[in-house]
Amino acid sequence: MKWNVDERCIELAQFICETGATVRAAAKRFGVSKSTVHKDVTARLKHINKALYEKTQPILQRNKEERHIRGGAATKAKYMGDR
């Protein structure tokens, strides 16, 4: 699906704000790369919709701080045979 870049940035940020989704989850949901999501919601969004940018950043920061916990849980599940 071809998107207008500005519209995509706003849609991605709204999705992240509404669901608390990670960059990876948002990328999968919208069919774009993780790099695209990250660039859209950190660099481009700032110039498109500053208020939405400021609302999105704490969620991205929280996800970044929690990623080592998720990774550890995934590794544990892998070796415990839960996956």
The residue ranking higher by pLDDT, 67 or 78, is 78
Closest CA to 13 of 79, 46, 2: 46
What is the pTM for the complete model shown? Answer: 0.79
Return the structure tokens found at 26: 């948002």
Report phi then psi at 51, rounded to 5: -65, -45
State the Cα–Cα distance between residues 23 and 38, nearest whole angstrom: 7
Predicted confidence (pLDDT) per residue in 34-77, tens digit:
999 999 999 999 999 999 999 999 999 998 887 666 666 667 77
State the Cα–Cα distance between residues 18 and 59, nearest whole angstrom: 10
- Residue 56 is part of which domain span? 5-80
On whether the CB atoms of residues 33 and 27 are closer than 8 A, the answer is yes
Q: Where are the beta strands (DSSP E) in the chain?
A: none
Number of domains observed in the structure of the chain = 1
